[in-house]
A and B are shown apart, each in its own frame.
Chain A
């Protein structure tokens, strides 16, 4: 039950963040989205992922987006001719504007059909998926048993996630750290006024 409520709020947050014209509110909604997502991860017993989601997704990403927002303007520009923009009454439209509106409606119908088909295919794909937490699911039969049995003996740390991240997948984590370092260098090169 609580899962459905959480997922419902997740979708509400996502849609509201897309529809919001005020970018600061959109950022706040994204932050709320991440926080709900963190609760969902916790419900799925993925506490490490939940922790990362809460600190990175809801915490620092929000701050960095607001920092980026401080360099631009707060409101979204009115996309001319977009669905959300103010539309003139039909009798005052010129011919070309009416034509444009027709094209936009046709485009959005086509996109709706594409989205519905994609969604239906995805839902169809989930039917074949194993149940959540099924011990006989392929993903739980490959390397997972070895991690569960041997990660403490082989790496000496109790937290299996840390053992996988730092020991079995040590190169990946080194790469991630390097990516973060590189992003910092790029930000310095692009935005710093005076490079000493």
Chain B
């Protein structure tokens, strides 16, 4: 789409890794500051969307294939639900992270929350990309 614009291509090539790194930072630091899985996932999806807008839809799909996003979107929900089931297996209620056998209550709860934030991030990123790629019109249709 904008492949011929050297400046846009160069700047987005330069920025996209940092945007993705920031997205991972936001997911990983949702427990310490503002942010979390939802926001981080959206930012990650935005980086791929930027790539697709600058270099074309098919090029974007090459970087993040349809199959990959289709697989990742349920995986995030599975991680979330799976952690809840693990809590039951560990003897607590559903999603009672404190019962996970990971040391003290605080640490277990912290790690459980960490896990579900990652799950939310994966699902949100994959679904946002899916919605973008399916909604935007390609050249050939």
Hey, which bits of chain A sit against chain B, CB under 8 A? 47-48, 50-52, 55-56, 59-60, 63-64, 66-68, 70-71, 152-159, 161-163, 165-167, 170-171, 173-174, 176-178, 180-181, 183-185, 187-188, 191-193
Contacts and interface: CB of A to CB of B under 8 A. Distances in A.
A85 B7 CA distance: 41
Secondary structure of the A contact surface, majority rule = helix
A184 B131 contact: yes
17 contacts: A48-B35, A55-B43, A63-B46, A71-B135, A155-B113, A156-B108, A159-B30, A159-B32, A159-B33, A163-B113, A166-B36, A166-B113, A174-B80, A184-B130, A187-B131, A188-B134, A191-B134
Contacts of B42: 55-56, 59-60
B62 interface: no
Contacts, number: 143
Given A155-B110, A167-B113, A173-B116, A52 B135 contact: no
A157 B109 contact: yes
B137 A70 contact: yes
Contact of B113 (A68, A71, A157, A181): A157
Given A162-B117, A187-B130, A51 B106 contact: no
In order of increasing CB-CB distance, the 6 nearest A-B pairs are A184-B127, A156-B106, A156-B110, A67-B136, A157-B31, A170-B95
B31 A159 contact: yes
A59 B46 contact: yes
Interface string B66-103: 00001001101100110010000000000101100000
Contacts of A55: 39, 42-43, 46
Contacts of A155: 97-98, 106, 109-110, 113
Contacts of B113: 155-157, 162-163, 166-167
A183 B77 CA distance: 13
B40 to A, nearest CB: 8
Most interface-central of A63, A153, A166, A180 (chain B CB within 10 A): A166
Given A162-B36, A165-B36, A180-B124, A154 B109 contact: yes
B35 A180 contact: no
Interface string B53-66: 10000000000000
Nearest to B119: A177
A188 B127 CA distance: 10
B132 A64 contact: yes
A153 B98 CA distance: 11
B141 interface: yes
B45 interface: yes
B38 A188 contact: no
A156 B105 contact: yes
A83 to B, nearest CB: 31
A176 B123 CA distance: 11
